[in-house]
Structure 1
């Protein structure tokens, strides 16, 4: 494991949220938000309403900028996110998850909790100088974000679909 469990979980969730804006968009309905909330193990307040969905959707460009920026810019953006939320880190344990860090109250809006959890995860990425673990998909028709947690840093595509499309194109090019 490259990062602490909660860091990896937060990074995966942030990348999934950012990539949900790519075509075909996968965060259109409150049901999509419910599925995202459950899939990524969020806890705390979740109203599941249209307002909450709109707030989470509005967060995507800000997270995309954070995840695709250089290290110094990312540090500034992390500080901005934490300051805007009035983050106060604390250790918590709930459910099956051992001690980990939360930095805003469980009653804070979901979009704020996502932003702060992403910022907290990015602290580990920045401090360990691992910004190269985040990149944009190598498929020239895609602008998805890639989180590479592989040992050999070989992940180039944001999804199997992009990887398969490029493998088929390379195969066809070789056959010509």
Structure 2
């Protein structure tokens, strides 16, 4: 692994970005519980009762992972949990893409914009899974972080999250526009 990846600021940037990603996703799902239940049910991977349970528990688990990523003693385990969740989400999306059900919403963020699933979204989840796994590997190898490392990492993560969220919104707008043209074209 390249030496710069052991820099505490890089490790904190990755940890904080993943924490923000999971926190934003969790809060969105917690504020739109019934809508998120519909999203989970729409993936058609679980029986209805289990879909309701997953829709209720998943946002809480995501929020716990987000917080744990920022707590040194449990950050490595949280990064592994994040990787596992991201991998499961990617597999669920891939199954539905294979089924041809690309019109369904991924359920990633409840920001009022539907994000249609696609192979690009599967790739995105793969990259995020690898980031979480890499973070889990980097955490124990990085020297202890100082206040400057942590502060800079948090700021860098916030900027990355804004860019990531902006890309998600643009994708949602594109999906909405594409869907509108598809309906008008019929």
TM-score category, normalised to shorter length: 0.3 to 0.5
| More contact order relative to length (CA 8 Å, sep ≥ 6) | 2
Q: TM-score, normalised by structure 2?
A: 0.33
Which structure carries more strand by proportion?
1
Given the two structures, how large is their TM-score scaled by the length of structure 1? Answer: 0.35
